[in-house]
Amino acid sequence: LKEHYAQLSKLPTVTKDGIEVDLMANISTHLDVEAAMKYGAKGVGLFRSEFLFMGRDTIPDEETQFKAYKEAIEKCNGNLCVIRTMDIGGDKPLPYLNIPEEENPFLGYRAIRICLNRREVFMPQVKAILRAGVYGKAAMMLPMVINVEEVKQVREIIEQAKAELAAQEKPFSDNVQLGIMVETPAAAVMTPVLAKYLDFFSIGTNDLVQYTLAVDRVNANVSYLYNHFNPAVLRLIKLTIDSARKNNIWVGMCGEMASDPNAAAILMAMGINELSMSAPSIPRVKEKIRSITSAQAKAALDTVMTMEDGNAIKEYLQTAL
């Protein structure tokens, strides 16, 4: 099996009739990139940068962050490295930010909300990413976005960061892509508008399922309701992919759903460009995609979109593909 997977890692991710999708890796630190490449990852689709902020007493400074991002980008060997700006709050608290305890942390002060409110936290990260972008192909991705205004504010902060870096004579890249996680229902519904301000979308189903269905992603008592094939979720995903296609930007997925081979097939039929997952899941997804035709995937998708129940969809896909 090991030998089989080693060979598979060198083969392209294409359907039998030649439709291609990029399989990329979700990572927590720059040290994970090499292992991900061995599984056949074509770059990094989600670098969870908050791990750089955790397990310490102070905010990591610009230099510390720059070194970590630079290393991750270099190790991608010319493939894209998508760095998500810090996603703290919710289930990931940070004592040194002194955020008061909240009754609903998943609906509270977190991620992009902290970044836009505490510039001294966000600015070093933005600068570090722009500087690291000199060493390869990089993207900045914003978590928990709910509206266009947040994106506009980040664009202004990026301009300010560039002006300051230029004044300090520090080299930076002008080609760092800007995208968002589509992980709130508001963002998904607004993708036809958001697409005009961004270079890409990456669908974060872990949170998108939670917020769309009002089902806590870590509560075992309601886990029977947590299903990425729920038709409400599928419609938001399809809208997101359609919006990206209409506006000529790329769209991927970095939530757990991307590592479900049956889901991957219908996502391809919807027109997704990229799937990012924990690296050990890559061979299974690649195998599924290489075993089907785009016509089969399209037929399955057409049936799925007429179905009314998430559990029935899940069962149907197990036999249909």
Count of residues interacting with ligand PEP (CB under 6 A): 10
Among 129, 254, 272, 301, the residue binding ligand PEP under the rule CB under 6 A is 254
254 is catalytic: yes
Q: Shortest approach of Mg ion to residue 35 CB, angstroms?
A: 23
Q: Shortest approach of Mg ion to residue 46 CB, angstroms?
A: 9
Q: Shortest approach of ligand PEP to residue 254 CB, angstroms?
A: 5
Binding mask 10-49 for ligand PEP (x = CB under 6 A): ------------------------------------x-x-
Structure-block tokens of residue 238: 């399809």
Taking the least distance from each CB to ligand PEP, the nearer of 62 and 183 is: 183
Q: Tell whether 230 is in a known binding site.
A: no
Positions in 189-228 near Mg ion (CB under 5 A):
204, 207
Q: Shortest approach of Mg ion to residue 255 CB, angstroms?
A: 7
Q: Shortest approach of ligand PEP to residue 92 CB, angstroms?
A: 8
Please choose which of Mg ion, ligand PEP, none residue 22 contacts, taking the beta carbon within 5 to 8 angstroms, the exact cut-off set by kind: none
Please choose which of ligand PEP, Mg ion, none residue 48 contacts, taking the beta carbon within 5 to 8 angstroms, the exact cut-off set by kind: ligand PEP
Q: Tell whether 174 is in a known binding site.
A: no
Round to whole Å and give the CA distance between 31 and 272. Answer: 28
Catalytic residue from among 76, 81, 115, 254: 254
Round to whole Å and give the CA distance between 31 and 250. Answer: 27
Q: What is the 3-state secondary structure (H, E, C) of the chain?
A: CHHHHHHHCCCCCECCCCCECEEEEEECCHHHHHHHHHCCCCCEEEEECHHHHCCCCCCCCHHHHHHHHHHHHHHCCCCEEEEECCCCECCECCHHHCCCCCCCHHHCCCCHHHHHHCHHHHHHHHHHHHHHHHHCEEEEEECCCCCHHHHHHHHHHHHHHHHHHHHCCCCCCCCCEEEEEECCHHHHHCHHHHHHHCCEEEECHHHHHHHHHCCCCCCHHHHHHCCCCCHHHHHHHHHHHHHHHHCCCEEEECCHHHHCHHHHHHHHHHCCCEEEECHHHHHHHHHHHHCCCHHHHHHHHHHHCCCCCHHHHHHHHHHHC
Q: Tell whether 290 is in a known binding site.
A: no
| Only segment of 116-124, 199-207, 293-301, 303-311 that touches ligand PEP (CB under 6 A) | 199-207
Q: Tell whether 206 is in a known binding site.
A: yes
Among 43, 204, 252, 283, the residue binding ligand PEP under the rule CB under 6 A is 204
Distance of CA 248 to the CA centre of its chain: 18
The answer to whether 263 touches 229, Cβ cutoff 8 Å, is: yes
Among 255, 277, 282, 304, the residue binding ligand PEP under the rule CB under 6 A is 255
Binding region for Mg(2+): 183, 207
Binding region: 48, 84, 183, 206-207, 217
Binding region for phosphoenolpyruvate: 48, 84, 206-207, 217
List residues binding Mg ion (CB under 5 A).
183, 204, 207
List residues binding ligand PEP (CB under 6 A).
46, 48, 87, 183, 204-207, 254-255
- Residues marked as catalytic: 254
